[in-house]
């Protein structure tokens, strides 16, 4: 990869970068008057770059066809977007602000890969990933954009991935800021810039999807996190539990979800207080300001921090950031061999097949239990007793929203003692109840090996019940 950098400075700042990546040209242009940057500027219409503007600019800008992948460059005055906006609004935007590490570690490509690994094609059709390159080192951003294009051009072309950069001119002053918390000057600069980075990212996102979730650029995603998020949000609606922010991770700003319609207000809030507090404190303050007094958290959590190096360099020690979320579950399961039998009449796939096909990231196999009665069961008998950490059974269908298990329990038969062979699993345990058609239980570590699982129907159903997934996670 060859990178040519041409800069020219006059009263108007103009930076032109030409990147040559194995046989194609990627032209990135930043230009804008280098007058005083300030908050007023952030309020200017031209900076409120929403999907409509992006789509418009896309139509009026050239596009380059890169070995089959099509690149779309959008250049309003202060921003640069590589994206192919979709015409519809999607379910979820995943925002990834990405900053250069002083140590040279680059994690963002792995984070994108982790999203791809953890999603099905159906998920990807409903999700947009916005990678926001926050570094002021334009040459670095350009190289990173090129690397993203090179590796994920196909996903830019499908509208899944957007790469966004914002010119430094847009930022309010980052020097001479208040030193609250007695923070070092460098830390104040770093955290204030991070607040503005996030605000600018939110201003990009309002009309892209219904919901917005932010992760960091050094994060691993739980397998199947998109349907997990959707299930959790549906549960909040069913239970009329009010929320403005939902946490899908216990850490800082990772896995925080908002409605896209709140992003503008939140961005304005952040810009008002950007020099006062770190961004995760402001997140908490915002939650209180909108009268959400308790944290709404999904467990197990869906995003794990995996990076080792922070983008803030103070001392060698300070540079490390190895925080882990202890409630994270990677969502990867391999159903152990078992015989699966339903006591009720079923159609569709055989229950055995639905169980056997349910590897992580598998396709939508399902079976339909016809009007299950009180006491009917679906039994999973393992070839040999096995220790488990979690079991998930999902019923229901978006096509037939009423066809879920309205009342049911998950039971297990457990060995009474660990070290005796040939003892039958006489201990009965109720692991959990179905809530909104789903049971998702963590099995306590003290539970001995399990011989069989049983879904027991607890009332007569007048509807059919669609069983979509039986996922067994070994300890």
- Positions that interact with ligand NAG (CB under 6 A): 50, 65, 68, 70, 110, 113-114, 117, 206-207, 264, 359, 362-363, 421-422
458's tokens:
């607890």
Least spacing, CB of residue 4 vs ligand NAG, in Å: 24
207's tokens:
């009309």
Residues 410 and 430: beta-carbon distance below 8 Å? yes
Least spacing, CB of residue 324 vs ligand NAG, in Å: 16
CA 90 from chain centre, in angstroms, equals 14
Least spacing, CB of residue 220 vs ligand NAG, in Å: 6
Concatenated DSSP letters of 172-196? PP-SS---GGG--HHHHHHHHHHHH
Q: What CA–CA distances, in Å, run from 333 to 31, 187, 336, 461?
A: 49, 41, 9, 30
Least spacing, CB of residue 456 vs ligand NAG, in Å: 29
- The answer for 368, left when phi > 0, alpha when psi is -120 to 50, beta otherwise, is beta
Whichever of 19 and 222 has its CB closer to ligand NAG, that residue is 222
Least spacing, CB of residue 421 vs ligand NAG, in Å: 4
Q: What CA–CA distances, in Å, run from 342 to 163, 237, 326, 336, 375?
A: 48, 31, 36, 18, 11
The whole-angstrom separation of Cα 164 and Cα 401 is 37
The residues facing 164 across adjacent strands are 81, 132
Whichever of 61 and 363 has its CB closer to ligand NAG, that residue is 363
Cis amide linkage into residue 300, ω under 30° from 0: yes
Whichever of 65 and 407 has its CB closer to ligand NAG, that residue is 65
Whichever of 117 and 321 has its CB closer to ligand NAG, that residue is 117
Least spacing, CB of residue 354 vs ligand NAG, in Å: 12
Whichever of 200 and 410 has its CB closer to ligand NAG, that residue is 200
Whichever of 30 and 72 has its CB closer to ligand NAG, that residue is 72
Task: Name, in order, each residue with C-beta under 8 angstroms of 58's C-beta and a sequence gap of 6 or more.
Answer: 72, 74, 83, 84, 85
Pairing of strands 219-221, 245-247: unpaired
Using only C-alpha atoms, the chain has a radius of gyration, in whole angstroms, of 25
Whichever of 94 and 431 has its CB closer to ligand NAG, that residue is 94
Least spacing, CB of residue 110 vs ligand NAG, in Å: 4
Whichever of 457 and 470 has its CB closer to ligand NAG, that residue is 470
Three-state SS at 54 = helix
Least spacing, CB of residue 362 vs ligand NAG, in Å: 4
Least spacing, CB of residue 50 vs ligand NAG, in Å: 4
Question: CB atoms < 10 A from the CB of 40, how many?
Answer: 9
The whole-angstrom separation of Cα 406 and Cα 420 is 39
Whichever of 34 and 117 has its CB closer to ligand NAG, that residue is 117
Three-state SS at 277 = coil
The whole-angstrom separation of Cα 141 and Cα 31 is 15
Whichever of 66 and 229 has its CB closer to ligand NAG, that residue is 66
C-alpha triplet 138, 128, 312: angle, nearest 5°: 40
Least spacing, CB of residue 152 vs ligand NAG, in Å: 13
């Amino acid at each position: 990869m060859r990178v040519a950098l041409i800069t020219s400075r006059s009263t108007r700042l103009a930076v032109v970068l030409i990147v040559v990546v194995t046989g194609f040209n990627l032209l990135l242009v930043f230009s804008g008057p280098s007058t005083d940057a300030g908050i007023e500027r952030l309020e200017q219409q031209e900076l409120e770059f929403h999907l409509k503007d992006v789509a418009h600019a896309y139509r009026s800008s050239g596009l380059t066809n890169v070995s089959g992948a099509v690149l779309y460059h959008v250049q309003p005055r202060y921003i640069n977007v590589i994206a192919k906006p979709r015409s519809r609004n999607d379910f979820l935007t995943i925002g990834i602000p990405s900053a250069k590490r002083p140590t040279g570690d680059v994690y963002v490509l792995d984070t994108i890969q982790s999203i791809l690994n953890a999603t099905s094609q159906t998920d990807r059709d409903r999700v947009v990933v916005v990678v926001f390159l926050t570094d002021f080192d334009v040459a670095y951003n350009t190289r990173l954009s090129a690397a993203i294009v090179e590796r994920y051009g196909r996903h830019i072309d499908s509208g899944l991935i957007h790469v966004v950069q914002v010119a430094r001119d847009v930022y309010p002053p980052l020097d001479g800021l208040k030193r609250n918390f007695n923070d070092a000057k460098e830390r104040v600069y770093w955290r204030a810039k991070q607040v503005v980075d996030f605000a600018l990212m939110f201003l990009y996102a309002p009309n892209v999807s219904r919901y917005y979730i932010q992760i960091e650029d050094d994060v691993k995603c739980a397998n199947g996190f998109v349907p997990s998020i959707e299930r959790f949000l549906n549960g909040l609606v069913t239970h009329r539990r009010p929320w403005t922010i939902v946490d899908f991770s216990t850490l800082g700003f990772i896995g925080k979800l908002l409605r896209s319609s709140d992003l503008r207000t939140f961005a304005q809030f952040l810009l008002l207080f950007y020099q006062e507090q770190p961004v995760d404190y402001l997140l908490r303050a915002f939650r209180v300001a909108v009268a959400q007094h308790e944290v709404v958290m999904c467990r197990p959590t869906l995003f794990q921090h995996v990076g080792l190096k922070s983008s803030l360099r103070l001392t060698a020690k300070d540079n490390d950031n190895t925080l882990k979320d202890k409630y994270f579950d990677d969502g990867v399961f391999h159903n152990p061999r078992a015989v699966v039998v339903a006591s009720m009449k079923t159609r569709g796939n055989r229950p055995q097949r639905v169980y056997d096909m349910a590897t992580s990231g598998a396709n939508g196999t399902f079976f339909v239990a016809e009007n299950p009665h009180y006491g009917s069961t679906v039994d999973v008998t393992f070839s040999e007793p096995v220790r488990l950490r979690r079991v998930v059974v999902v019923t229901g269908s978006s096509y037939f929203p009423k066809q879920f298990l309205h009342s049911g329990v998950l039971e297990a038969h457990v060995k009474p003692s660990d070290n005796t062979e040939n003892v039958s699993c006489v201990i009965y345990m109720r692991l959990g109840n179905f809530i909104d058609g789903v049971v998702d239980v963590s099995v306590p570590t003290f539970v001995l090996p399990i011989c069989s699982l049983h879904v027991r129907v607890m009332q007569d159903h007048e509807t059919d019940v669609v069983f979509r997934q039986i996922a067994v996670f070994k300890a």
